[in-house]
Structure 1
Amino acid sequence: MALLAVARELARTGNVVTVMGSGPPRPDTPYAFKQVPSLRRERFERFPRIPPLRSDVAWEDATFALSLLRSYRPEDFDAVVTCSFPFTHWALRRPARSKPAQIFVTQNGDWPATSESAEYRTFRCDGLICTNPDFFERSRARWNCALIPNGVSPGAFSPAPSDRARFGLPEGPPLILMVSALIDSKRVIEGIHAVARVPGAHLVVAGDGALRNRVSEEANQHLPGRFTRLTVSAAEMPALYNSADVFLHMSLLESFGNVFVEAMACGLPIVGHDTPRLRWIVGDREQLCDTESPDALHQALERALSLEKGSPDDRVARFYWPQIAEQYHRFLSGIVGGC
């Protein structure tokens, strides 16, 4: 979603942008869209985990890269941008007489750029876009880097009246929202246990993943009648945020975490794991704590629920997509001009 937002803004300002992806046709976008088929990651949830096929996402990436090789002509582009490693990264670097500048974005982590083991030793790029200061400091001595965060659409994400009926959510109780893939690192099950300690609170989890059955079992046991899991389109996400009272995210560390900025833009109090990286995004006004401490987490949730939803933090403005895209434009122009 982040790269699509950047593509949209770059195309709006006069750049010629092509997006290659596996989603449905996008006839109303300012960029050109070329559909590249792949097999969805859900089909690979029970497949073996072997290097470099380390996850269902890697299996999906491999199927996408095979299709990409048939659609991608290096000579057609001045620069290519991806956040997928290793297979898409390898496909974009395939031998050609004219090679575009290779730009990698650390949306999913910086280990391809920093690790010297296994397949990570094959990583190469002409420009590395780091989504947080930690990644930037680790890589700036080795790669041509820029520190550019992710962003939020100012017209879409802003405070608005609650619309719980739209999502079939109860009107009365305080509503705590998690927006997360259902995988171990997101710690959704720990979130269920935490909300179970808050009398009367209703937990909504927007997302899907391999742990969906276990999440349902834990919720049935610990939050009977106080839990809803749903999947919604990107267009519906602002309304979902505005229907909640508190935003909870349990990951110990994220490459960036667009969800935090989206929640901030809608004026939601945020409860998350206290790290310098997250403070860099949300500042000091949010209810950050050691989420591995059940007592500290319970107290943070209670504090957040005592707050009224308000106007967005002024810090949100620095994450608006037009400003982020301008940073991409300057970085890409410098690299392409120097090639």
Structure 2
Amino acid sequence: MRVVHITSLDNGGAGRACIRLHKALLEAGVDSIVITQTKTGDTPQVKQLAQTKPQKLVAKIRPFLSQLPLMAYPKRVKDIFSPNLPIFTPSNHLLVSTIKALKPDIVHLHWVENGFFSIKDLQSIQAPILWSLHDANPYTGGCHIVAAACVGVGTRCKSCPLLKSTYPFDISFWTFKRKAKTYAKLKNLTINGLSRWIAQSAKDSSLLSSKPIINLPNPIDTRIYRPIQKSLAREMLHIHTPKKIISFGAIGATSTPRKGFNELKAALDCLPQNLKDKCELLVFGSSEGQNLQDIPTHYVGTLHDDIALALLYSASDVFIMPSHLESFGQTALEAIACGTPVVAFNTSGLKDIITHKHNGYLAKCYDTNDLARGIEWILSLETAKYEALARNARSSAIKAFESSKVAHAYIDTYAQLAGGGAVDKTWLISIAKHTLHTLLPHIFAQPTYYIGFGAIGGASVGRKGFNELKIALENLPFSLKSQCELLVFGGEAPQIQGIKSHTLGFLHDDYALAFAFNACDIFVAPSLAENLSNVIMESLACGTPVVAFDIGGNGDMITHKHNGYLAPLANDSNTLGEGIEWILSQDAKAYATLAHNARVSSLRFESAKIAHTYINTYVFLTGGGGAIIDS
């Protein structure tokens, strides 16, 4: 499999994340190639696009040209903004032709601004595209961090508050319009939210809400980012102090307000004086800045090397990440991988990395007093409790973000996309209904909603919940009920007043079951007791949304109103009916998204993946069992 990554830079937050994934894929045997506008490292298979002198000249002009429209907004907020307009961000024909020549199975986009990529170039890429959201720009009219008061991403950008624009048809409007026009033509684009927060933000946006959206994180090499003896780390960094070290760092650490340096200063001012006397502050990402009152401050500049960063985190007793928003939170992950607890605000992608009082502290959003309480809580822990917190930090990084694990999750996704991506639910329903129409023409004579119910024993086993389903269907509004028919497989079931039922009998063959699930517009699993339901898993795998009670393992498979509906009150037919009515009342676009989500969510149970998990367990058990200790 050949994966071609596209990123404007091979450094910076997004560039470093791209390179880390690239390295992990190479180790896993994937033919991974990175194309970048600006190459700064020497990682294998990373290629700078411009090679000749004319090409290099154009590459230098493109970033400047793309930013020219911003000159019309001299009062704009001084943060990154990337318009994508004709003439100013022209098509990158060299990039398009290079991608084509490489014949990739997958094109993986990362951060592609700085004039590197015209949004219309997406139409020239024939391979399946996976686009990782390193910030909000792909679903906005140009901003990378959405202003708190802005509602444009949910409708249409105009009068952008970051541009301080009062004119509705500003460059955010035209960039948004250009993206909307291009995205509408793309059938091969899948979006990857690096955190649950940014994935949900993309789903809520107008530009990307109709696209398949998944959630895979950035990886980290825990062989490099690992705890180093604190005294050794400090010696290597020439830090000669017995005091507690509080560290903070980011690109533009002190100059970019959203990185939270002002909030950090306010929090440190709130610390008790006796604690201040025991602390020093270490800042990276900035070479100079003000010294804080009562706390000696050291500015170490920008650290480019992973080993230097690992030393800094290991030298620290706590790392503070007071960012207002983070699509992921890479420095927080680096810190915990080195066994250093993190204090951050309870916001955005940081919630995927930090678990409150387990591997760090999540302060109330933008509450500097609570940020101070988090710093004080960690630094005041007795030795044994602090060491437990540090171990939790390290183990949580390994468990969720270790590079080889994350790489294989991406490989599984690439394989699915290269095979055609998510199942086209409309096509499958059409095929299934056509086949069943041929076999059972008396069932499919009229177009209608088909509701599925299946269980071994059918209605004869009380705990399978047929009686609850019967009441729920009888109580549906007449206008909806008149459009519904019930397909029952796995046993017999009595007729339901006002709804025609069809008994398909016991279906032994998986192919027949797959057709049955695909013929259903919705599958209802009203069981009153379940561990991990096979029929729910099978239905979701066929792209058919499921309604079930929120019991047992159902919540492990169904995410409420994402791939189905979890009725909150077990045994309550009214809530079951509300779920059926909610799904069947969705318009075609919303239902297609629901069906797509059902299919994608089932992939975590894919047989080969689960088999390998069991194999690893068997190997471990045959080795004698016992605790797995991280070396």
**Same fold, TM exceeding 0.5?**
yes
Does residue 203 (structure 1) correspond to residue 281 (structure 2)? The answer is yes
Q: 2:412 aligns with which of 313, 322, 330?
A: 330
Provide the secondary structure at the position in 2 that maps to 1:152: coil
Does residue 185 (structure 1) correspond to residue 255 (structure 2)? The answer is no
Quote how far apart the aligned CAs of 1:333 are: 2.1
| 1: CA distance, partners of 2:413 / 2:77 | 31
Q: 1:142 to 1:336 in 2, by over 3 A?
A: same
Alignment of 1:277-288 (within 5 A): 277-284=349-356, 285=358, 286-288=360-362
Q: 1:20 to 1:58 in 2, by over 3 A?
A: farther
| 2: CA distance, partners of 1:222 / 1:207 | 21
Q: 1:78 aligns with which of 91, 105, 108?
A: 105
Q: What does residue 24 of structure 1 align with?
A: 40
Contact 1:195 1:203 (8 Å CA) reproduced = no
What code does the residue aligned with 2:261 have?
A: V
| 1: CA distance, partners of 2:248 / 2:392 | 19
Q: 1:276 to 1:233 in 2, by over 3 A?
A: closer
Contact 1:274 1:288 (8 Å CA) reproduced = yes
Contact 2:250 2:284 (8 Å CA) reproduced = yes
Quote how far apart the aligned CAs of 1:168 are: 3.6
What code does the residue aligned with 1:6 have?
A: L
Provide the secondary structure at the position in 2 that maps to 1:93: helix
Provide the secondary structure at the position in 2 that maps to 1:327: helix
Alignment of 1:45-124 (within 5 A): 48=71, 57=80, 69-73=93-97, 74-76=99-101, 77-84=104-111, 87-90=115-118, 93=121, 96=124, 99-109=126-136, 112=139, 116-117=156-157, 118=173, 119-121=175-177, 122=179, 124=183
Deviations 1:79-121 (A, max 9, x none): 322233554452682664x623232111113661755422134
| 2: CA distance, partners of 1:127 / 1:298 | 40
| 1: CA distance, partners of 2:410 / 2:121 | 20
Quote how far apart the aligned CAs of 1:220 are: 3.1
| 1: CA distance, partners of 2:409 / 2:365 | 33
Q: What does residue 134 of structure 1 align with?
A: 197
Provide the secondary structure at the position in 2 that maps to 1:233: coil
What code does the residue aligned with 2:100 have?
A: E
Does residue 267 (structure 1) correspond to residue 339 (structure 2)? The answer is yes
Gapped regions of structure 2 (runs ≥ 5): 1-15, 51-55, 141-152, 158-172, 204-208, 422-631
What code does the residue aligned with 1:326 have?
A: H
Deviations 1:144-174 (A, max 9, x none): 1211012211101111112224334342221
Q: 1:249 to 1:78 in 2, by over 3 A?
A: same
| 2: CA distance, partners of 1:49 / 1:164 | 49
Does residue 230 (structure 1) correspond to residue 298 (structure 2)? The answer is no
Q: TM-score under structure 1 normalisation?
A: 0.81
Q: 1:66 to 1:335 in 2, by over 3 A?
A: same
Q: Count residues in correspondence.
A: 324
Using the aligned pairs only, state the percent identity: 17
Give the structure with higher Rg (CA). Answer: 2
Contact 1:151 1:261 (8 Å CA) reproduced = no
Q: TM-score under structure 2 normalisation?
A: 0.46
Contact 1:80 1:92 (8 Å CA) reproduced = no
Q: 2:391 aligns with which of 311, 316, 322?
A: 311
What code does the residue aligned with 1:244 have?
A: S
Q: 1:276 to 1:104 in 2, by over 3 A?
A: closer
| 2: CA distance, partners of 1:176 / 1:224 | 10
| 2: CA distance, partners of 1:303 / 1:129 | 35
Quote how far apart the aligned CAs of 1:329 are: 1.6
